[in-house]
């Protein structure tokens, strides 16, 4: 056969495939989520997320140390708040004795060089289980902003390097940025959950934090999975309001949105490879239906290929310990 162009030549040997590989994923691009509990000596497995635990601060410090040995240097923290500390206004989130804030202080005290990202949204602390304030079954936008800002300032005071608003209220990036600056935290960064979709893939996370909405759903603030152009509106706003990072969440069903962000914004693009995406691979691998390690690498590489500079993933520790 006279075939001039034979793409298979570039796949001939492992060394050639290495040389022609377009995308790589290194540990430096990974962020590992940690679920925090009050108390001590707690290490409670999340049923739907094999390998992931809810940790009291002492156990979390051990977990962080193990991750650091594998080369993971960035963590994003989420609190599992006991029901008796929840109320309609999420007031516990900014009380100085809040165990989440205490945990941030401890982590920064033991590991000042690590990058600690925190979560800003009402749901873990809200008796309604919504990211914003609920009034007569409505999630009200503007009254939520001061609460989010209180939370953000408290986390910055505790030592957070980067604040991660995951609530999807309008105008919150600008509001939080202003409040942080007013209090002298101009060095604290903001990683905006910019295109956060109303997704079925958050299921295991809500189990882990017991943070599911008590009533209704999150569709009046999280985005419609059918929409792509609308993500660019969110992107423009968060960029203009001062976000330092733009995030797409979930990752796998939204690779086109990750690509759009990469092509339209010149700040780091983050993809959140969420709990349900992790659980799917773990469940199938447990049944012997697919190979855990190969699926993990393929999925993470595909998120990089789509354009993510940074990936938040429950696989971070496992990837760092197995690959390279």
Does residue 270 touch ligand PBG according to CB under 6 A? no
Give the closest residue to 209 by CA, choosing from 93, 320, 116: 93
Shortest distance (Å) from residue 202 CB to ligand PBG: 4
Residues in binding contact with ligand PBG, number by CB under 6 A? 11
Catalytic residues: 196, 249
- Give the residue, chosen from 121, 160, 191, 279, that forms a contact with ligand PBG under the rule CB under 6 A: 121
Examine residue 231 and tell whether it contacts ligand PBG (CB under 6 A). Answer: no
Residue placing its CB nearer to ligand PBG in the complex, 54 or 113: 54
In whole angstroms, give the CA distance from residue 161 to residue 231. 26
- Is there binding between residue 123 and ligand PBG (CB under 6 A)? yes
Nearer to ligand PBG, 119 or 260 (CB): 119
User: Is 315 a binder of ligand PBG (CB under 6 A)?
Assistant: no
Q: Establish if 166 lies at the interface with ligand PBG (CB under 6 A).
A: yes
**Segment near ligand PBG (CB under 6 A), from 183-191, 201-209, 224-232, 262-270?**
201-209
305 close to 258: Cβ distance less than 8 angstroms = no
In 3D space, the residue among 92, 246, 111, 222 whose CA is nearest the CA of residue 173 turns out to be 246
- Among the residue ranges 107-115, 202-210, 292-300, 301-309, the one whose residues contact ligand PBG (CB under 6 A): 202-210
Q: Where are the alpha helices (DSSP H) in the chain?
A: 14-20, 57-69, 99-110, 144-158, 172-182, 203-209, 229-240, 255-264, 275-286, 292-306, 316-322
Residues 271-310 that bind ligand PBG (CB under 6 A): 274-275
Residue 194 contacts residue 234 (beta carbons within 8 Å)? yes
From 118-126, 171-179, 223-231, 281-289, give the range in contact with ligand PBG by CB under 6 A. 118-126
First CA to last CA across the chain, in angstroms? 40
From 22-30, 93-101, 116-124, 284-292, span contacting ligand PBG (CB under 6 A): 116-124
Please name which of 151, 222, 221 lies closest in space to residue 188, comparing C-alpha atoms.
151
> Would you give the DSSP letter of residue 127?
T
β-bridge pairing 115-120 and 269-273:
unpaired
Residue 206 touches ligand PBG, criterion: CB under 6 A: yes
The residue among 225, 233, 310, 221 whose CA lies nearest residue 264 is 233
Q: How remote is the C-alpha of 88 from its chain's centroid?
A: 24
Binding ligand PBG by CB under 6 A: which of 100, 202, 239, 319?
202
Binding site for ligand PBG (CB under 6 A): 119, 121, 123, 131, 166, 202, 205-206, 218, 274-275
């Amino acid at each position: 056969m006279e075939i001039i162009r034979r793409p298979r030549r570039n796949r001939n040997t492992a060394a050639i495939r290495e040389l022609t590989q377009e995308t790589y994923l290194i540990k430096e691009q990974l962020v590992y989520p940690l679920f925090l509990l009050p108390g001590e000596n707690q290490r409670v497995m999340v049923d739907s997320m094999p390998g992931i635990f809810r940790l009291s601060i002492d156990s979390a410090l051990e977990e962080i140390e193990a991750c650091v040995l594998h080369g993971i240097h960035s963590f994003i923290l989420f609190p599992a708040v006991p029901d008796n500390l929840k109320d309609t206004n999420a007031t516990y989130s900014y009380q100085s004795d809040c165990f989440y804030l205490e945990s941030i202080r401890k982590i920064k005290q033991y590991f000042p060089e690590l990058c600690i990202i925190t979560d800003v949204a009402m749901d873990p602390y809200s008796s309604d289980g919504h990211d914003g304030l609920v009034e007569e079954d409505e999630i009200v936008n503007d009254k939520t902003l001061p609460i989010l800002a209180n939370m953000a300032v408290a986390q910055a005071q505790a030592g957070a390097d980067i604040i991660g608003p995951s609530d999807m209220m309008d105008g919150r990036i600008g509001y939080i940025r202003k409040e942080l600056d007013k209090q002298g935290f101009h060095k604290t960064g903001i990683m905006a959950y910019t295109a956060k979709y109303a997704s079925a893939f958050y299921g295991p996370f809500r189990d882990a934090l017991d943070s599911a909405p008590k009533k209704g759903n999150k569709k009046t603030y999280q985005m419609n999975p059918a929409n792509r152009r609308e993500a660019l509106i969110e992107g423009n706003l968060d960029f203009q309001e001062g976000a330092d990072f733009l995030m797409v969440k979930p990752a796998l069903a939204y690779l086109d949105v990750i690509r759009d962000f990469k092509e339209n914004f010149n700040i780091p693009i983050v993809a959140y490879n969420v709990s349900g995406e992790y659980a799917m691979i773990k469940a199938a691998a447990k049944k012997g239906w697919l190979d855990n390690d190969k699926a993990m690498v393929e999925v993470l590489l595909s998120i990089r290929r789509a354009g993510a500079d940074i990936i938040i993933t429950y696989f971070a520790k496992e990837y760092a310990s197995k690959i390279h």
